[in-house]
Structure 1
Amino acid sequence: MLKKLVALPLIVASFMFMSVAHADHHGMKKDIVDVAVENGSFNTLVAAVQAAGLVDTLKSKGPFTVFAPTDAAFAKLPEGTVAMLLKPENKDKLVAVLTYHVVSGAVMAADVVTMDSAPTVQGQSVAINVDGGNVMINNANVVLPNVKASNGVIHVIDTVLLPQ
């Protein structure tokens, strides 16, 4: 019974996210940025992408794979970290953190589970670990895979990835 009570909100959230992710806009599927904006669970990520000047890049043709941390993931960072990264003088650090969440190409979950690492746009690779049905990117759990966008795919994660 407890498993059902825990699983139900995840299933409902998944369907809510998928309905936004697959929504059409004038006959065109939404790009990665539009999907994130409309979902409402990625306000911090969207603000960071805007502050870093990466909106146009993530709205471009791609394709991209984005490991997208939720607002709750950003909230787990030490107090003041997000505010520090959003300052104009720290734009290079912010760009490094954000591009560490992006892999070139559309890498679907079926492909991710066959990999042990993936090179990011930032230059460093992320580690991929599959244990049963759980997929981890570094120390982040993939909580919702394969959210399709017109220019790639989003895998929702529960922890912000930080490059070394």
Structure 2
Amino acid sequence: MKASFILASMAAAMPLQLTLQDKPLSESLSQSIEGLEKQITYLQGEMEELIEHLVGSSKSDVEWVADSDSYVPKASGPIQNSSLTIYENLVASPNHTELVVLLSNFSDIVELLNDTTSNLTFFAPTNKAFETPLNLTKSEIHDSLLYQLVPGNSSSGAVVLSQTLGSMFLDPTLGGRAQRLAISIKEGFSINHGAVNITSLSKSFSVNGIFHSVDSFLKVPSKIVDTLLDTTADYVWFSSALNSTGLLSKVKDFKGTVFAPTDLAFSKLAAPIQAFLQGPDGAPYLEAILKFHLVPNTIVYSDYIYSDTVLEGPIPKGKYILGVETMLTSTGALPTQSLRLSITAWGPVAHFTVNVINPVSTTDWIADDGVIQSLGKILIPPRILPGGAVDYFTPCMTVADLMERLAGYV
């Protein structure tokens, strides 16, 4: 009853209104986007209350398990003895015998899982995860086990409400910062966009934390360039363009955020602009556009920021706006081009936009050296209007318009 009431309240409380009225298109759309962001902030509390009601409080008696279409709350799954440690409960679990054998090779991990003074969350691979060989070195397995450990007691409710979680693997590539896990509800309930499926969120606790069962062995993420070059990914045009302009080698040594347009994003460009960018005259402009998608030294997840140049830490609730410099620097005295990021989190979903009108289509593709945020539209530097106002909108853009916007950067 309560869940139905909350959903009805959310649906009726603030109906969406996108009225252009008698105003310039850019101004009307900006105001509409601002209105939507306010509504998202308003609904955040209602969404969190609903999920907490479904999943439970910090010591939930509800467990989420997968069915054929979605995840539904069911009171079933492994019972953890609250007088035993995580490790002792794993030893007693018939579904984790292979994991216990593996842990016998890593006394420091066993010590962590047995430490009664600690408070941990372990995403524990079941026997199914070991049906195929891991093909990892002992050092890689050790790092991956640390990656599956999260400081703090992440109950089922806390996991569901997270965009990312910081692990106990302190990644040297990130300057010793905690490598993060992305929690996804789009492809089913999973970690790192289906790399590992969470088969059960535990309904009970060990004396030093909790473990949740996963069906695969979660490996430390690969580098950004490897993800972009993955043939199963949707970045064929973007990775090919990086390679043709010589930027791919720079991305190999890159640490930061890549706003990666999908292949569909490229197809949305006007045909004359596509032809221009793929021709010899357009090569410098293509390189400039690609640099506009690369943010060095600042890693912007949907709920956390690692940075050498801006404020670091968790992203506050509500609407958060951040400016970050890209790799697009001027050939003269113009300032380095920046991106305006707007993030509004509500429950397990983050509304993440770039330069006002470009939503991130899929957030938090975790990489060893940063994060990839997927875009459904290619970013074009804004037009500066008389008086210094910034126009991010790009309707009916021509090749001449594109060259004008990139003047001074090519």
Query: Do the structures match in fold with TM over 0.5?
Result: yes
What's the counterpart of residue 64 of structure 1? 256
TM-score, scaled relative to structure 2? 0.33
Larger radius of gyration: 2
What CA deviation, in whole Å up to 9, does each residue of 1:92-135 have, x standing for no partner? Answer: 21111001001112222224663332211112111223356421
Q: For the residues of structure 1 that align with 2:191 and 2:322, how far apart are their CA atoms? A: 30
Q: For the residues of structure 2 that align with 1:16 and 1:33, how far apart are their CA atoms? A: 20
Does the 8 A contact of 2:325 with 2:338 survive in 1? yes
What's the counterpart of residue 150 of structure 1? 368
1:130 to 329, 343, 346: 343
2:227 to 2, 19, 35: 35
Confirm or deny that 1:48 pairs with 2:241.
Answer: yes
Per the TM alignment, residue 37 of structure 1 is displaced from its structure 2 partner at its CA by: 1.8
Does the 8 A contact of 2:187 with 2:193 survive in 1? no
Per the TM alignment, residue 64 of structure 1 is displaced from its structure 2 partner at its CA by: 1.8
Does the 8 A contact of 1:65 with 1:154 survive in 2? yes
Confirm or deny that 1:89 pairs with 2:286.
Answer: no
69-78 vs 132-141, which moves further: 132-141
Corresponding letter in the other structure for 1:32:
I
Confirm or deny that 1:115 pairs with 2:332.
Answer: no
Does the 8 A contact of 2:229 with 2:236 survive in 1? yes
Corresponding letter in the other structure for 2:272:
G
Q: For the residues of structure 2 that align with 1:41 and 1:15, how far apart are their CA atoms? A: 19
Where does structure 2 lack aligned partners over 5 or more consecutive residues? 1-69, 71-184, 196-216, 306-314, 329-335, 383-410
- Please give the secondary structure, in 1, of the residue aligned with 2:271: coil
Q: For the residues of structure 1 that align with 2:192 and 2:238, how far apart are their CA atoms? A: 16
Corresponding letter in the other structure for 1:121:
M
Q: For the residues of structure 1 that align with 2:293 and 2:222, how far apart are their CA atoms? A: 19
Q: For the residues of structure 2 that align with 1:14 and 1:82, how far apart are their CA atoms? A: 37
1:11 to 179, 186, 192: 186
- Please give the secondary structure, in 2, of the residue aligned with 1:98: helix
Does the 8 A contact of 1:120 with 1:126 survive in 2? yes
In the superposition, relative to structure 1, how do residues 49 and 79 fare at CA in structure 2: closer, same or farther (>3 Å)? same
- Please give the secondary structure, in 2, of the residue aligned with 1:30: coil
Per the TM alignment, residue 34 of structure 1 is displaced from its structure 2 partner at its CA by: 1.3
Per the TM alignment, residue 45 of structure 1 is displaced from its structure 2 partner at its CA by: 0.5
TM-score, scaled relative to structure 1? 0.77
Does the 8 A contact of 1:96 with 1:163 survive in 2? no
151-160 vs 30-39, which moves further: 30-39
Corresponding letter in the other structure for 2:263:
D
- Please give the secondary structure, in 2, of the residue aligned with 1:116: strand
Does the 8 A contact of 1:59 with 1:151 survive in 2? no
RMSD: 3.0
Higher RCO structure, 1 or 2 (CA under 8 Å, sep 6+): 1
80-89 vs 101-110, which moves further: 80-89
Identity %: 25
- Please give the secondary structure, in 2, of the residue aligned with 1:136: strand
Where does structure 1 lack aligned partners over 5 or more consecutive residues? 1-6
Corresponding letter in the other structure for 1:126:
L
Corresponding letter in the other structure for 2:243:
Q
Corresponding letter in the other structure for 1:79:
A
Q: For the residues of structure 1 that align with 2:279 and 2:189, how far apart are their CA atoms? A: 33
Per the TM alignment, residue 16 of structure 1 is displaced from its structure 2 partner at its CA by: 10
What CA deviation, in whole Å up to 9, does each residue of 1:46-72 have, x standing for no partner? Answer: 111111111111111x31200111111
What's the counterpart of residue 83 of structure 2? none
In the superposition, relative to structure 1, how do residues 31 and 41 fare at CA in structure 2: closer, same or farther (>3 Å)? same
Per the TM alignment, residue 14 of structure 1 is displaced from its structure 2 partner at its CA by: 9.8
In the superposition, relative to structure 1, how do residues 110 and 43 fare at CA in structure 2: closer, same or farther (>3 Å)? same
Does the 8 A contact of 1:67 with 1:101 survive in 2? yes
Does the 8 A contact of 1:51 with 1:86 survive in 2? no
Corresponding letter in the other structure for 1:34:
D
Q: For the residues of structure 1 that align with 2:234 and 2:188, how far apart are their CA atoms? A: 10
Per the TM alignment, residue 90 of structure 1 is displaced from its structure 2 partner at its CA by: 2.4
Pairs aligned (count):
151
